[in-house]
Chains A and B, each alone.
Chain A
C-alpha cells in the first residue's frame, strides 16, 4: 500500500516537472508571465512531492517491508534504525531518488530568490533544472524503481515489478533482508554519498544560469554574480565528498591508503577539476571582462561531467571499487549527457560573438594571466584523467588488446602539473590585476620566468627516456622540480619582495634534508609547501599591519576586518594554505609509508619505524542483536621503550551478509599514523595472531588540512550584506592591486 503510494507520488512528481518544462517554454514563447509563474510553482511543488515519496520509501525501509525488492536488498532486521534510513542512498534505486530529491530542493531554493532584475533568466533556469529533475525521475519511474516488489516468473526467475506480471506468483515474504554491505555501515560512508551528490546537483544551478544567459543574450557577468555562492557551496560539498571518501577508504578498506585512482574516484574528481578552474576563471570575467567564452565551456563541461560521473558509477562499463551492478540505464545517461552537451555547445556557438573579451590580457605576469595558467593546468590534469579512464576502451579499438592504466600512470603524468599548481599558489599573493605594479611580479625578468616554465619540460624530455626504463617512474619529476627549485632560488635571491620567504623555505628544506629525508621529490614538495605558506602568511601579516597603521585598530581587529572586507581573496588564501597542509599529508603517505607484517604469539612483538607493537590478548564474541561477531586483539605500543598505550584492531563478521570487515587500530599523531590490522588468528593464543602494520608519516595533515579547507570556503562563501547590488567597481580600478576580490 505504502509502496504504491510512494510510486504513485513519484509518477506525479515526474509529470509535474515535465509540466513545468513545457509551461516555462510556452510561457516564454507567448510572453505569458502567468504561465511562467505557473511553471515556477510546478517546480516548487516537485520537492514536497519527492519528499513524500522518499518518506514512503523510508517508512518501508524502517519497517522491514521485505516484499519490496529494494528494502530486501539493502536492509536487515538487525540494522539500527538510522542505518535503515541511510540505506536510502546505499543502493542504486534509492540513490537515484535521493539525487532527484536534492536536485529539486536546490532548484526550488533558487526559484525562491528575488528575481526583480533577472526575471528574464527565470524560465530558462526552470527549464534546465526541471529537465534534469525529470530525467532522473524518469530513470526511477521506468528503470530503477525502488518500490518494485519481487515476483517469480513462470521460468522461476525473480522479476522486479510494481504490479504482478502475468503468469507470475508472488515471492513469499522473506523473513529477513540481505542487509547493507558492512563496508557501507561507516559514518564516513553515510555522509560521503550525500556530500558528493550535493556537490553534483548544486553545480547544476550555475549551469542553468549559464544556459539562461546564453538563451536570453544577457551575456554580461550577471549570471556569474548570481551563482557565485552556489558555485562555492557546490565546490565545498564536492571537495568534502571526495575527502570523506578518502577517509572512509583509509578507515575501512584496510589497505593503508585513501585514494587509488579508481575510475569512479576519477569520475568524481573530474567535475572538481573543471569546477575549480571555473571558480578561478570567473574572477577574471568579473574583474577584467575576459574569458567569457571559456567560462561557458567550463561550466558546460562541469555539468556534463557531473552526469557522466553519475553514469560511470552505474553503467558497469568500468571495473571499479564503486561500480554498481550494470543496469539498463547506462545508455540513457550517455544519451542525456550527449544531448545536453550538444545543445549547450550549439547555444555557445550562436552567442560566441557576444562573448568577446572587453579588455585584452597584456602582461603574462598579471593575476589574470596566472589564473589562465592555473586553468590550463587544471584542464591538463582533467585531460590526463579522462585519457586514463577511456584508455582501455580506446586501446582496444586501436590495437586490439585492452591496455589499462593504474595509479603509477596517473602519478607519473599528473605530479609535475600538481607541482606547477603549488608553485602558482606560492606566487598568487604577489600578483595583481591588469598590469603588474613595480613592486609586484612584473619585476621578474621575463626570460627567467620563461625559462622557469620551460625548464621542467625540457628536463623531463632529456631525463625521462634512459632512466625510466630502469626505474619505472618518477625520476623525470625529480629533475624537473629540482630545476624549478634552482631557478626559483636564483630568481628570488635578487628580488626584494620575496627573498625572505625563499630563504625561510630553503632553510626548512635544508633542515629536513639533514634530519628527515634525502628523497628529492619530497624535498621539492616540502620546499613548495614552505614557500607557499611563507608567502601567504606574509601577505596576511603585511596587509594586517598596513590596516593597523591606516585605521588605528589593534592587531586582531585589523586582522578580522581585513578578512571580512576581502572575504573572497583571503578565504582563497586560507584554502591555498589548507591545500599545502594536505600536500604535506599526501607527500608523507605516498613517499614514506612503511609496513611490516608477521604472525606473533602473545607476548611477542613486531618492530617498525621506531615503534614496538606487542601482542597482548585476543577475544572473540557474538552480539546477537546486532548480528555481528567481533574478534578484537589488544596490542601495546612502545616507542623507544616508553609505553604509549593500547590499540584494538578488530575483525567484525556480519552474519546477514556473511562478510567480514577489518577495522584498524590507529594511533594518530602529527608526525605519523600507526595503523595496525588484525589479519588472522589461531584459536590457541600461544600459536599467535597475524598482524599487518603500517606507519603512515604525516598523513594526519591531510585531514587537518581538509578542516582548514572547510573554514576557508566558509570565509569565501559567507554572504555579503548585499551581494547582488555591488557595482562592478573593481573593473574601473583594475590597476589597483589590492582592490577587494
Chain B
C-alpha cells in the first residue's frame, strides 16, 4: 500500500517530537515551589532551576541604582489557585501574607532595571535558583498587582 511510506514518515516525525519534548524537559524545566516548600527543602534544591511565587514586602525593597541590584523579601503565598480563591482572592492572600510576621520569607536578589509594577503586596513570580545562604537569585521577575486593578492587569515582564 502506498500510504505506508507516509505513515512511516509521520511516525518518524512523531518520534522526533516526543524526543524533543523529553530531552528539552530534562534540560530546561523549572520546579514550581512555594516559599514554604523552599524553606523546608533548602539545600536539596540548590542549583536547580526554580520558579517561586511570593508576596513582596514593601519595607524590604532596596534598589542600588549604581549596580542595578534589587533586593527584597517575599512571604509565602499558596501555590494553588483554588486555595487562593478559598482564602478570599489573590489581593487578600497577598495582604495577609505581608502583614503576618510568622510566614516564612526568603530574600531575593535581582539584577536589572527596577520593574514598574514593583511595590508592596505585589505578587512576584520569579525564576532562578537559591544559593547556600538560602537567598534566591532571580533571573526573571514577573509582577502582578491585583489590589489596584482587578481587571485587565498585565504583569510586567522583566528578564535579564
Contact = CB atoms under 8 A, between A and B. Distances in A.
Contact of B28 (A180, A409, A454): A409
A454 B152 contact: no
Contacts of B67: 599
Contact of B23 (A260, A380, A476, A677): A476
B29 A405 contact: yes
Contacts of B28: 405-406, 408-409, 412, 472-473
B17 interface: yes
A609 interface: no
A31 interface: no
Nearest to B1: A360
Contact of A473 (B27, B89, B125, B152): B27
Interface string A302-326: 0000000000000011011111111
A321, A677, A682: which has the most chain B beta carbons within 10 Å? Answer: A321
- Which of B66, B142, B154 has the most chain A CB atoms inside 10 A of its CB? B154
A52 to B, nearest CB: 23
B6 A91 contact: no
Interface string B61-73: 0010111100000
Interface stretch (A6-14, A249-257, A696-704, A707-715): A249-257
Interface in A400-425: 401-406, 408-409, 412-414, 416-417
Interface stretch (B94-102, B112-120, B129-137): B112-120
A730 B63 CA distance: 67
A339 B150 CA distance: 30
Nearest to A599: B66
A546 to B, nearest CB: 33
B60 to A, nearest CB: 18
A404 B48 CA distance: 13
A194 to B, nearest CB: 14
Contacts of A681: 65
A412 B146 contact: no
Given A361-B6, A453-B12, A457-B16, A73 B68 contact: no
Contact of A181 (B140, B152, B158): B152
B116 A661 contact: yes
Given A249-B157, A257-B159, A364-B9, A321 B142 contact: yes
A662 B113 contact: yes
Nearest to B141: A255
A30 interface: no
A358 interface: no
Q: What does DSSP make chain A's interface, helix, strand, loop or mixed?
A: mixed
A387 interface: yes
Contact of A380 (B17, B63, B149, B155): B17
A619 interface: no
Contacts of B113: 254-255, 597, 662, 677, 679, 692
A734 interface: no
- Residue of B12, B51, B114, B156 with highest tally of chain A CB at under 10 A: B156
A321 B154 contact: yes
A99 interface: no
A316 B27 CA distance: 28
Interface residues of B, number: 60
Contact of A364 (B6, B13, B89, B142): B6
B81 A183 contact: no
A262 B27 contact: no
Contacts of A445: none
Given A369-B6, A692-B113, A387 B156 contact: no
Contacts of A255: 113, 157-159
A392 B79 CA distance: 12
A349 interface: no
Contacts of A178: 148-149
Nearest to B2: A360
A469 B155 CA distance: 33
Given A324-B151, A362-B2, A384-B17, A391 B29 contact: yes
Instruction: Count chain B CB atoms within 10 A of each CB in A317, A373, A416, A690 and give the residue with the most.
Output: A690
Contacts of B33: 401-402
A322 B154 contact: yes
Nearest to A597: B68
Contacts of A677: 113
Contact of A413 (B2, B15, B24, B151): B24
A517 interface: no
Contacts of A326: 81, 85, 89-90
A404 B32 contact: yes
Given A326-B81, A373-B9, A657-B148, A404 B29 contact: yes
A461 interface: yes
Given A364-B6, A377-B13, A692-B68, A74 B151 contact: yes
18 contacts: A74-B151, A91-B152, A92-B152, A180-B152, A317-B81, A321-B142, A324-B151, A326-B89, A364-B6, A376-B9, A380-B17, A384-B20, A412-B27, A416-B20, A460-B19, A599-B67, A679-B114, A692-B112
Interface of A: 70, 73-74, 90-93, 95, 178, 180-181, 183-184, 249, 253-255, 257, 260, 262, 316-317, 319-326, 360-362, 364, 369, 372-373, 376-377, 380, 383-384, 387, 391-392, 395, 401-406, 408-409, 412-414, 416-417, 453-454, 457, 460-461, 464-465, 468-469, 472-473, 476, 597-599, 657-662, 677, 679-682, 690, 692
Given A181-B152, A460-B16, A472-B27, 19 more contacts: A70-B151, A183-B116, A323-B144, A325-B146, A325-B151, A361-B6, A364-B5, A403-B31, A403-B32, A405-B25, A409-B28, A412-B23, A412-B24, A413-B20, A464-B23, A473-B28, A597-B113, A679-B114, A690-B68
- Nearest first, the 7 closest Cβ-Cβ pairs linking A and B are A402-B32, A680-B65, A409-B28, A91-B151, A413-B24, A413-B20, A690-B65
